[in-house]
Structure 1
Amino acid sequence: MKVLVWNENRHEQKNEEVAKIYPDGIHGAIKQFLTEDKIEVDTATLDEPDHGITDEKLAETDVLIWWGHLAHHEVKDEIVAKIHQRVLEGMGLIVLHSGHFSKIFKKLMGTSCDLKWREADDKERMWVVDPAHPIVEGIGEYIEIEKEEMYGEHFDIPAPDELVLVSWFEGGEVFRSGCTYKRGHGRIFYFRPGHETYPTYYHEDVQKVIKNAVKWANPVKRTYSSYGNAKPLEKIESK
């Protein structure tokens, strides 16, 4: 399995606090714990040529992990179109935290993907609401994060195919934090936690969910479906 971790990588360059938490970037932190799981992992960032997503790299990627925030608008539409097609062909996509506003997630959802938010050191408790789902294998009844950015409903997304995790925040809000979708041959997982000024991606259970999600989103090995005008499989008798 080949995983590509894409990170905008702007906060790490602009904010000393973020750079201290993630000295190798958010993508570096995610790559590290995925590599420990014996997964072949590569990274790419916004300011690389083609945002680090060449045709060759995209073609060999089984699962793409996406983190963005400040510069969604800088992602080239032609790159988004190529990622969209690869998802339809079967590539898995895991969208993290503020990636809810990314061009690719909004294109796949067909909605604004807007929400409420607050940075106030809220405690977050993510409840497992689908305990039989493989994405939460090895997770208890809930995941508790001491401090995180709040995301609150209404989250303007289509009803998930599967709702896996629901968050409660100290300020009283709730949020659909673990949502799965299928588009074409591809599987998509949106996972809420991961604000850049908190060390969320070092949390053992957060790492476990992402590892599980990568395995879940790994493409089914089959030929891409054919479309358009089709010849009959059987002889059609004249009436």
Structure 2
Amino acid sequence: MIRVLVWNENMHERTDEEVQKVYPEGIHSAIAQGIEHEDFEVQTATLEQPEHGLTQEILDNTDVLIWWGHQGHHMVADEIVNRVHQRVLDGMGLIVLHSGHFSKIFKKLMGTSCDLKWREADEKERIWVVNPAHPIAAGLGEYFELEREEMYGEHFDIPAPDELILVSWFEGGEVFRSGCTYHRGNGKIFYFRPGHEAYPTFYDTNVLKVISNGVRWAALQGAAKPVYGNHKPLEKIKLK
């Protein structure tokens, strides 16, 4: 089982009637229900919970953390950001969605401003698969479309991605690197652009497929956890 934690600040849903209509149980619930698979164990957490629902015990029992934030980036305690950061370095996967590009944790992991152009104009978004052999693109067509989304445009101030999976085109003419992967320490990071709170993006079959694929990709795999620091020799060292 892959243990998945969907984190959402859960602010728009409590204060904005239009958002409440789209996500009556919160964005986190829509994502959690949409990515349910027999090999996933999915939980949710929100900003208003003690320690933002991100206690050390919870994080230690999380294989992949999914992050959606927008209004409340500044409200996330630095202590919690450092805790999540260390877990990523230790091997926990992290999927950052939409406005999470401005979250403290994503900016800390990227080391840049993560700024971009944006516009809310109910535009069509066409998302092109530019790395069709990548596991995150499994089951997708050559492209898929969202009839209404918020525009994000280049330049996106992030480090060059380890892998670029998806590129978006918008009705107004802009393009955007909308599916990017990174490795930090022993952890994997996937940034996925769509998901403005006013649109039903997290009910879209292709969007949910990308997130599900991202969970499988980001889950810790491979060799045993590395050992750091002073190390005793494995063989006897002959004195010279």
Q: TM-score, normalised by structure 1?
A: 0.96
Structural RMSD (CA): 1.3
Instruction: Give matches, 1:94-109, under 5 Å.
Output: 94-109=95-110
Instruction: Give matches, 1:189-208, under 5 Å.
Output: 189-208=190-209
Summarize deviations over 1:123-171 as a string: whole Å, max 9, x none.
Answer: 1001000000010101000010101000000000000000000000111
For the 8 Å contact 2:7–2:46, the answer to whether it is kept is yes
Aligned position for 2:17 = 16
Summarize deviations over 1:72-129 as a string: whole Å, max 9, x none.
Answer: 0100111111111111111110000000000110111111101000000111001000
Q: 1:82 aligned to 2:83?
A: yes
Q: State the SS of the aligned residue for 1:159.
A: coil
Which stretch of structure 1 is more off in the superposition, 158-167 or 224-233? 224-233
Amino acid at match of 2:92: M
**CA distance in 1 between partners of 2:43 and 2:175 (Å):** 34
Aligned position for 2:130 = 129
Q: Give the count of matched residue pairs.
A: 239
Amino acid at match of 2:21: K
Amino acid at match of 1:224: K
Amino acid at match of 2:162: D
Q: State the SS of the aligned residue for 2:43.
A: strand
Question: Identity of paired residues, percent?
Answer: 71
Q: 1:116 aligned to 2:120?
A: no
Instruction: Give matches, 1:87-236, under 5 Å.
Output: 87-220=88-221, 222-236=223-237
Shift of 1:224: 2.3
**CA distance in 1 between partners of 2:64 and 2:116 (Å):** 26
Q: State the SS of the aligned residue for 1:35.
A: coil
**CA distance in 2 between partners of 1:35 and 1:161 (Å):** 28
Aligned position for 1:28 = 29
**CA distance in 2 between partners of 1:154 and 1:230 (Å):** 45
For the 8 Å contact 2:35–2:209, the answer to whether it is kept is no
Q: State the SS of the aligned residue for 2:35.
A: helix
Query: Please, which runs of 5 or more residues in structure 2 have no aligned partner?
Result: none
For the 8 Å contact 2:64–2:218, the answer to whether it is kept is yes
Shift of 1:33: 1.3
Amino acid at match of 1:109: M
**CA distance in 2 between partners of 1:132 and 1:12 (Å):** 37
Shift of 1:56: 1.1
Shift of 1:38: 4.7
